[in-house]
Amino acid sequence: MESTDALSILSAEGFTTPLGPTRPPARRRVDSVDDIFSRLRQGDRGALSRAITLVESARESDQVLASELLDRALPLTGLSVRVGITGSPGVGKSTLIEALGMHIVGQGKKLAVLTVDPSSPSTHGSILGDKSRMAELSAHPNAYIRPSPSGCRLGGVANQTREAIQMCEAARFDVVFIETVGVGQSEIEVRNMVDCFLLLALSGAGDELQGIKRGIMEMADVIGLTKADGDNRLRAEVAAGQIERALMLLPPDPMGRRAKVQLCSAKDRTGIDTIWESISQFVEEDKANGRFDWRRGNQAVTWMEELVHQSLLAAWLRREDIKQATESLADAVRELRTTPRSAANHLLGIVQTDLRSKSIRFE
Amino acid sequence: MESTDALSILSAEGFTTPLGPTRPPARRRVDSVDDIFSRLRQGDRGALSRAITLVESARESDQVLASELLDRALPLTGLSVRVGITGSPGVGKSTLIEALGMHIVGQGKKLAVLTVDPSSPSTHGSILGDKSRMAELSAHPNAYIRPSPSGCRLGGVANQTREAIQMCEAARFDVVFIETVGVGQSEIEVRNMVDCFLLLALSGAGDELQGIKRGIMEMADVIGLTKADGDNRLRAEVAAGQIERALMLLPPDPMGRRAKVQLCSAKDRTGIDTIWESISQFVEEDKANGRFDWRRGNQAVTWMEELVHQSLLAAWLRREDIKQATESLADAVRELRTTPRSAANHLLGIVQTDLRSKSIRFE
């Protein structure tokens, strides 16, 4: 697939000769929005990677291209299913995602897997094991796997991922997985960009529920108990019952539904189809009852608000008098001459003064 | 301890009679800052709980009291050691914290344990098991354990925890643990309010490093490998070597130090003293080389900046024209009449218009 794409670029731009290229062509950047977008619409993975790189880039010229691509992609984004997947380290998330992904591409669907990892802005992924993750799935022509963005521009990983999802959808991917790591803030962010949320938990470890935070359980639409195979199967069934009883303590969703608990094993390839059926059924129900569109609408509004807040703060920090006052107050705080709270009040006092005249100046 | 405190309150306020109280006194709120603060300085745990509740409260009258308490507490905060502790669910964090805590109070020190759990703003803690955590430590007169704040006011859990730390320090606690859950955003927040960061990891599970994200490892000053006992001891030693080699791939801190990896077992009570020695040594070195004060200064500046940003956004959202435009644009975004990005630009355009006249009005 990659080589076909590479060739098609070459021929489109006249780099092939009757004898073929005499040396590997230099890596070139194709920066026309028309070109990237038309290749994106053909499902070209090189163009998709380029588009996501633009979206993640902090360079202003890249951001202009990214904005144009996003504008064009917007009408095309309603057709995919976005699935958030979370689970603590050690539950076998990668192998389960690979098995679930192989099941989905086996149905002739195109699947993109994006990861969100807020724990490391400057590096990404585990210190070991990233390269060999999902080897089978990543080799499949209908799968596209993109690791966590390594940069950190205004708005952070969440907005970059939102925009990467839209690029995948423009490239006609039917299903987009957004994989997140850990049990914290990133789940809340991911829940707010997907249609269905799958929680993976390890069954039969003796403390089945300890690792599942109530807040995460409240977000889950489907719960998969991993490694339910061999000697572990029976304990997994016990754990499933425990979790189902725990779920009864939580209120159901507005449609009266509670998260479905499914046993699964990536090793035995059991339960994988059931998990996908549960996800599909959840999404179909939501499409029928209007919650699918309602949720996506709310997500878009949240996105709008976040963009505004980020820009506002940036404008505040560009104001010269604020910048100077912040610097001198920071020194005072650092030297224990004032408290953070008093210094903040003083800075806000610059606004307060303006408040009396009903205005605040921005540069 | 609790009963002594209760009696001292009673006698101070004339509730005791020669026959003693004839019925349990009704739960009263002692709302004088002078009173709370003087009891706090005596190490009264009832006063400490009250002070932290004020700090966590969203009520304006409580916030006024909280601010006064914080102002008074500020000069008193340099004397404790603040230790952040993280680890994935299942590593045995609670039992290790309890063992480490017992070691510390055994040295005659006073220890407070606070938890940060951003995963659930409306509920807190695991769905099971919270009540029986750290039973031995919580019964010790020199220990104080405070669960995650359950409310969610402006600024979130992080600021509430920062202020709770200061209350503990005003109450003369020598060591404050800030325990966090998961491997995400909360670690970054906690790292930014402590002097030393302890990462707990499970040894000998076969995939020793899988659960440790590079970003977390970069933050750790000390790494404890838990459950290094019995049959697991040898595998734990192997894991320790693996982690030490992985650490060599990361740059050392500016003092040339890399995280120390220590085996420990809460069950056998081994390695607990070594972990505490590593933490103490790290902090002593930082006090000697100036990084302790430098780091606390930076943390205070970050705190100031966060307070400003939160207040700014609140002011923006109180502006009537912004509020109305936000509502109508939200409808447009929800009905797919415009994109989040375009709507955000339009909202910011209200500021842009003002920018031409060099002013933006706040209510």
Q: Is the pLDDT of residue A114 over 70?
A: yes
Q: Is residue B130 part of a domain?
A: yes
Q: Is residue B100 part of a domain?
A: yes
Number of domains in chain B: 3
pLDDT digits (tens, 9 = 90+) for A262-288: 999 999 999 999 999 999 999 999 999
Of B128, B185, B304, Cβ closest to residue A333 = B304
Same domain, B131 and B265: yes
The sign of the dihedral angle between the CA atoms of A214, A215, A220, A225 is: negative
Q: Is the pLDDT of residue A3 over 90?
A: no
The pLDDT score that the predictor gives to residue B336 is: 76
The pLDDT score that the predictor gives to residue B110 is: 97
Tokens of B262: 């220590």
End position of a domain, from candidates A258, A289, A320: A289
Q: Which of chain A's residues have a Cβ under 8 Å away from the Cβ of B335?
A: 297
Neighbouring-strand partners of residue A144 = A112
**Closest chain A CA to residue B157:** A185
Q: Which of chain B's residues have a Cβ under 8 Å away from the Cβ of A187?
A: 119, 184
pLDDT digits (tens, 9 = 90+) for A347-356: 887 765 444 4
Tokens of B208: 């020793």
Q: Which of chain B's residues have a Cβ under 8 Å away from the Cβ of A355?
A: 362
CA distance B39 to B42: 5
Chain-chain contact of B183 with A183 (C-beta, under 8 angstroms):
yes
For residue B349, the domain's CATH number is 1.10.287
* B347 inside 8 A of chain A by CB: yes
Q: What is the DSSP string of A173-222?
A: -SEEEEEE-SSSHHHHHHHTT-SEEEEEEE-SSS-TTTT-BHHHHHH-SE
Chain-chain contact of B185 with A303 (C-beta, under 8 angstroms):
no
Chain-chain contact of B313 with A309 (C-beta, under 8 angstroms):
yes
Question: B residues 286-315 near A, CB within 8 Å?
Answer: 297-298, 300-301, 303-305, 307-309, 311-313, 315
Q: Which of chain A's residues have a Cβ under 8 Å away from the Cβ of B347?
A: 304, 308
CA distance A286 to B12: 62
CA distance A137 to A101: 7
Same domain, B166 and B100: yes
As for the ipTM of the complex, it is 0.71
Pairing state between β B196-202 and B81-86:
parallel
The pLDDT-based confidence of A313 (bands split at 50, 70, 90) is confident
Highest mean pLDDT among A27-41, A139-153, A166-180 belongs to: A166-180
The sign of the dihedral angle between the CA atoms of A41, A47, A52, A57 is: negative
Chain-chain contact of B304 with A74 (C-beta, under 8 angstroms):
no
* B344 inside 8 A of chain A by CB: yes
pLDDT digits (tens, 9 = 90+) for A214-265: 667 788 999 999 999 998 898 889 888 888 887 887 778 888 899 999 999 9
CA distance B329 to B338: 8
**Closest chain A CA to residue B250:** A127
What's the gap in Å between the CA of A318 and the closest CA on chain B? 13
Q: Please tell me the pTM assigned to this model.
A: 0.63
Q: Is residue A22 part of a domain?
A: no
Question: B residues 218-277 near A, CB within 8 Å?
Answer: 218, 246, 249
CA A185 to chain CA centroid, nearest Å: 13
Chain-chain contact of A361 with B362 (C-beta, under 8 angstroms):
no
Chain-chain contact of A181 with B183 (C-beta, under 8 angstroms):
yes
* A12 inside 8 A of chain B by CB: no
* A19 inside 8 A of chain B by CB: no
- With a CB cutoff of 8 Å and minimum separation 6, the contacts of B337 are none
For residue B259, give the amino acid letter.
A
Residues B183 and A182: beta-carbon distance below 8 Å: yes
Same domain, A85 and A66: no
Q: SS3 letters for A18-68?
A: CCCCCCCCCCCCCCCHHHHHHHHHCCCHHHHHHHHHHHHCCCHHHHHHHHH
End position of a domain, from candidates A267, A289, A311: A289
Residues A347 and A325: beta-carbon distance below 8 Å: yes
- With a CB cutoff of 8 Å and minimum separation 6, the contacts of A14 are none
Chain-chain contact of A326 with B315 (C-beta, under 8 angstroms):
no
Task: Tell me the residue range of the domain where A204 lies.
Answer: 77-289
**Closest chain B CA to residue A72:** B339
Q: Taking Cα atoms as reference points, which of B147, B132, B137 lies closest to residue B52?
A: B147
Residues B50 and B171: beta-carbon distance below 8 Å: no
Of A89, A120, A183, Cβ closest to residue B215 = A120
Residues B116 and B157: beta-carbon distance below 8 Å: yes
Interface A-B, measured as beta-carbon pairs within 8 A, has a size of 262
> Interior CA angle at B169 toward B163 and B174, to 5°?
140
B183 or A312: which leads in pLDDT: A312
Helix, strand and coil in chain A, % to nearest 5: 55, 10, 35
Q: What is the DSSP string of B77-134?
A: GGGSEEEEEE--TTS-HHHHHHHHHHHHHHTT--EEEEEE-TT-SSS-SBSSSSTTTT
* B90 inside 8 A of chain A by CB: yes
Pairing state between β B81-86 and B175-180:
parallel
* A333 inside 8 A of chain B by CB: yes
Chain-chain contact of B129 with A354 (C-beta, under 8 angstroms):
no
For residue A190, the domain's CATH number is 3.40.50.300
> For residue B84, what are the CA distances in angstroms to A281, B176, B198, B221, B254?
43, 8, 6, 10, 20
Q: Which of chain B's residues have a Cβ under 8 Å away from the Cβ of A297?
A: 333-336
Q: Is residue A285 part of a domain?
A: yes
Chain-chain contact of A312 with B311 (C-beta, under 8 angstroms):
no
Q: In a 3-state reduction of DSSP, which class is residue A314?
A: helix
Same domain, B156 and B248: yes
The pLDDT score that the predictor gives to residue A359 is: 43
Q: What is the DSSP string of B142-169?
A: TEEEEPPP----TTHHHHHHHHHHHHHH
The pLDDT score that the predictor gives to residue A255 is: 86
CA terminus-to-terminus distance, chain B: 50
- With a CB cutoff of 8 Å and minimum separation 6, the contacts of B293 are B287
Same domain, A58 and A121: no
Same domain, A83 and A211: yes
The pLDDT score that the predictor gives to residue B292 is: 94
| Chain A interface disruption, residue of B71, B152, B301, most A CBs within 10 A | B301
Chain-chain contact of B298 with A184 (C-beta, under 8 angstroms):
no
Mark out the alpha helices in A248-319 (DSSP H runs): 272-289, 291-318
The pLDDT score that the predictor gives to residue B90 is: 76
Q: Is the pLDDT of residue A177 over 80?
A: yes
Same domain, A140 and A269: yes
What's the gap in Å between the CA of B301 and the closest CA on chain A? 5
For residue A242, give the amino acid letter.
Q
Q: Taking Cα atoms as reference points, which of B307, B343, A61, B95 lies closest to residue A53?
A: A61
- Count CA within 13 A, CB hemisphere, residue A129: 18
Q: Is residue A363 part of a domain?
A: no
Residues A180 and A86: beta-carbon distance below 8 Å: yes
Question: A residues 112-171 near B, CB within 8 Å?
Answer: 117-129
Same domain, A104 and A246: yes
Pairing state between β B196-202 and B222-226:
parallel
**Closest chain A CA to residue B214:** A127
Same domain, B145 and B283: yes
CA distance B114 to B135: 15
User: Which element (helix H / strand E) includes A322?
Assistant: helix A320-334
Same domain, A152 and A262: yes
Q: Is the pLDDT of residue A126 over 60?
A: no
Q: Is residue B22 part of a domain?
A: no
Q: Is residue A256 part of a domain?
A: yes
Mean pLDDT of the residues in chain A: 78
Chain-chain contact of A307 with B340 (C-beta, under 8 angstroms):
yes
Chain-chain contact of A119 with B209 (C-beta, under 8 angstroms):
no
Averages of pLDDT over each 10 residues, chain B, 363 residues: 31 32 47 90 93 86 86 81 88 91 97 76 39 80 82 58 91 94 69 93 59 73 93 88 83 88 93 97 95 92 87 78 90 83 81 46 37
Mark out the alpha helices in chain B (DSSP H runs): 2-12, 33-41, 45-56, 60-73, 93-106, 135-138, 156-170, 185-191, 214-219, 232-247, 272-289, 291-318, 320-334, 340-356
CA distance A178 to A162: 10
**Local structure of residue B198 (DSSP, 8 states):** E
Hey, how many other C-beta atoms are within 10 angstroms of the C-beta on B314?
10
Same domain, A71 and A95: no
Same domain, A93 and A188: yes
End position of a domain, from candidates B47, B76, B105: B76
What's the gap in Å between the CA of B165 and the closest CA on chain A? 14
- With a CB cutoff of 8 Å and minimum separation 6, the contacts of A237 are A228, A263
| Chain A interface disruption, residue of B120, B191, B250, most A CBs within 10 A | B120
Highest mean pLDDT among A75-79, A177-181, B12-16 belongs to: A177-181
- With a CB cutoff of 8 Å and minimum separation 6, the contacts of A24 are none
Tokens of A189: 């962010």
Q: Is residue B330 part of a domain?
A: yes
Rounded CA Rg of chain B: 24
Residues A200 and A85: beta-carbon distance below 8 Å: yes
CA distance A45 to A168: 9
The pLDDT-based confidence of A358 (bands split at 50, 70, 90) is very low
Chain-chain contact of B187 with A90 (C-beta, under 8 angstroms):
no
Looking at chain A, how many residues does it have?
Answer: 363
